[in-house]
Chain A
Amino acid sequence: GQQVMQIPQYQHVQEGEDFTTYCNSSTTLSNIQWYKQRPGGHPVFLIQLVKSGEVKKQKRLTFQFGEAKKNSSLHITATQTTDVGTYFCAGRTTGGFKTIFGAGTRLFVKA
Chain B
Amino acid sequence: DTAVSQTPKYLVTQMGNDKSIKCEQNLGHDTMYWYKQDSKKFLKIMFSYNNKELIINETVPNRFSPKSPDKAHLNLHINSLELGDSAVYFCASSQDWSSGGAGTQYFGPGTRLLVL
B80 at the interface (CB under 8 A from A): no
A98 at the interface (CB under 8 A from B): yes
Residues of B close to A48: CB separation below 8 A: 102-104
In the assembled complex, 15 residue pairs joining A and B whose CB atoms fall closer than 8 Å, in A order, are: A35-B105, A43-B90, A44-B107, A48-B103, A86-B41, A88-B43, A90-B105, A92-B103, A97-B48, A97-B50, A98-B56, A99-B45, A100-B45, A104-B41, A104-B42
Q: Is A45 a contact of B105 with CB atoms below 8 Å?
A: yes
Q: Is A103 a contact of B42 with CB atoms below 8 Å?
A: yes
Cα A80 to Cα B106 with chains together (Å) = 25
B96 at the interface (CB under 8 A from A): yes
Chain A 1-45 against B: per-residue CB contact (8 Å), 1 yes, 0 no?
A: 000000000000000000000000000000101010100011111
B110 at the interface (CB under 8 A from A): yes
Q: What band does the interface of chain B fall in when counting residues whose beta carbon is under 8 Å from A?
A: 20 to 34
**A27 to nearest B CB, angstroms?**
17
Cα A45 to Cα B3 with chains together (Å) = 13
Closest to B108 in A: A42
Q: Is A97 a contact of B55 with CB atoms below 8 Å?
A: yes
**B105 to nearest A CB, angstroms?**
7
Q: Is B31 a contact of A97 with CB atoms below 8 Å?
A: yes
**B116 to nearest A CB, angstroms?**
21
